[in-house]
Amino acid sequence: MQKNIGTLDRNVRIVLGSVMLVAALVFQSWWFLTGVIPLITGILGYCPVYIPFGFNTSGGYGSTGGYYDQSAKPAKLGERMTF
């Protein structure tokens, strides 16, 4: 599992996930428990949703803005995607 989330992206996910979890406790609602997803992906530094789209924000080409991974080719219609 190669990290595909950069520093800024990780920090935003961790803060957002933490705020959502606190909101779940304060407002006693289960809906804000979706904050677990950005929190976990931020801590791990890996987002499986980035793979099919070829995104990688972990310092590509020397920038913190990320880049489009040219090696990730979209599947053709009817072709099965492999990871």
Give CA angle at 51 (49, 54), nearest 5°. Answer: 120
Q: How far is it, in rounded angstroms, from Cα 10 to Cα 13?
A: 5
Show Cβ contacts of residue 26 under 8 Å, excluding neighbours closer than 6 positions: none
Decide if pLDDT at 14 tops 80. yes
- Give the pLDDT mean for 50-65: 71
**What confidence tier does 41 reach under pLDDT thresholds 50, 70, 90?**
very high
**What confidence tier does 63 reach under pLDDT thresholds 50, 70, 90?**
very low
Decide if pLDDT at 71 tops 70. no
Share the mean pLDDT of the chain.
80
**What confidence tier does 29 reach under pLDDT thresholds 50, 70, 90?**
confident
